[in-house]
Amino acid sequence: MTVRVVVGAQFGDEAKGKIADFLAASARYVVRSAGGPNTGHTVVLPEGPVVLHQLACGVLRHGVTGISGPGMVIQPFKFEEELNGLRERGLLRGEVLISDRAHVLLRLHELEDIWEDELRGRHRPEASLGTTKSGIGPAYADRAGRFGLRVGELSRPAVLRERLELLYATKGHLAGVPPIEELAGQLTEVGARLAPMVRTTEPLLWDVIARGENVLLEGAQSALLDVDFGTYPYVTSSHPTSAGALVGSGIPPTALDEVVGVAKAYCTRVGAGPFPTEDSGERGEYLRRVGGERGATTGRPRRCGWLDLVLLRYVARLNGLTSLAITKVDVLGGIGDVPVCTAYRMPDGTVVRDGPPTSADELASAEPVYDERPGWPEFHARRTERVRREGAAALPGELRRFLEFIEDETGVPVEYVGYGAHRDETVWLGPRTARRRPSALPAWSG
């Protein structure tokens, strides 16, 4: 039995969906533990690409149950659209369950999200966070403030009406709010349609673990966007860390076996916030073009730059990473030497290797210190097919040494490599990394 967590180890968009789908092949249950319709996990199947927003990737595999967990904020109408879209394409292969403890994201929250970001922009233009305007922050705020409505309450008309009346009392500053009777009726109808999938999921998972079946926790967004440990205030409103995944699924810490951190061989970020290794020149544009770096949810172009080992070391300790998955190595194939940030030089002249500044402003002022690593050959069709056929042994030697450098710098073994967009273009490095795995992470020097 294995309980794994997949965690984003950068600023998001690291191909977590691809790695989670790869690992879901050996899982019985996959739990999406946080977030809502603001994120998109892309899985490229033989039938074409699929972008999952509120469904766990397990629903794409026969014999696997995908759970939208208690830590999520679910927009029920968009959830239903996503579900029906998979059905129409014949791609809904697993079972779907929704935690009755997950909170409901409403049109009220979307309107409030827009209002809040406009308020920030009027106060100070650079204070705009660049959110997806999906209502995530306001929904989590109402959950924490105990104004929230939970999925299990959609089938209880009296409770639904009471919770809506309380919510409406707090939203008088918003324009365009739908009449409460209209929204209550719509929620009752969608709640009835979703009801067969709604369950109290944490006892189910406890029983599954006790029976020795594999469980995968699929995080949304990434550790550097955690509301406490990310680049605040340029963060999400939940905890996309390994600890957050446990809370967002109801699984106890003692059950956890592995934490897989996912990072690109370079780095990207969507929206505002500090990004020390951002490359605004031609090479950054090359990464954007060749890597197809546009948001799966918004279509916005991603900011592109280079692998940042200062932040990756921090994420490794914060999440207790037991292994790394390095993705999109094909994008860097053939570009020559690859810059990797190994330290920061701060304005006062100090050099930082481990403990990144807590303040977003201070992090933005950090000057990256680069180590130029030897590049590897292009991943042309013949090479890709050879890796698909022969596995890790067919990876270029220069790439293998690049991965070993990451292992040496972080103390975490690289166990998986993504070398293309398709489902089958991920390779497990096998016993080689198991032998390299340290008994403990190196001493922290921050």
CB distance 402 to 265 below 8 Å: yes
Residues 6+ apart with CB under 8 A from 137: 113, 116, 131, 236, 237
Nearest by Cα to 257 from 51, 3, 10: 3
Helix (H, G, I), strand (E, B) or coil at 123: helix
Q: Which of the following is catalytic: 21, 41, 109, 226?
A: 41
Q: Which residue has 């929230």 as its token pair?
A: 148
Q: Which residues contact 97 (CB under 8 A, 6 or more apart)?
A: 65, 66, 67, 68, 197, 198, 199, 201, 204
Helix (H) or strand (E) holding 370: strand 367-373
Query: Which DSSP helix (H) or strand (E) runs through 96?
Result: strand 95-99
Four-residue CA torsion sign, 6, 7, 13, 15:
negative
User: Is 354 an annotated catalytic residue?
Assistant: no
From 191, 198, 188, 180, select the one nearest 107 (Cα to Cα).
180
**Concatenated DSSP letters of 189-214:** HHHHHHGGGEE-HHHHHHHHHHTT--
As a dihedral over the C-alpha atoms of residue 77, residue 81, residue 84, residue 90, rounded to 10 degrees, the angle is -150
Does residue 41 carry a catalytic annotation?
yes
What secondary structure letter does DSSP report for 278?
A: B
Active site residues per annotation: 13, 41
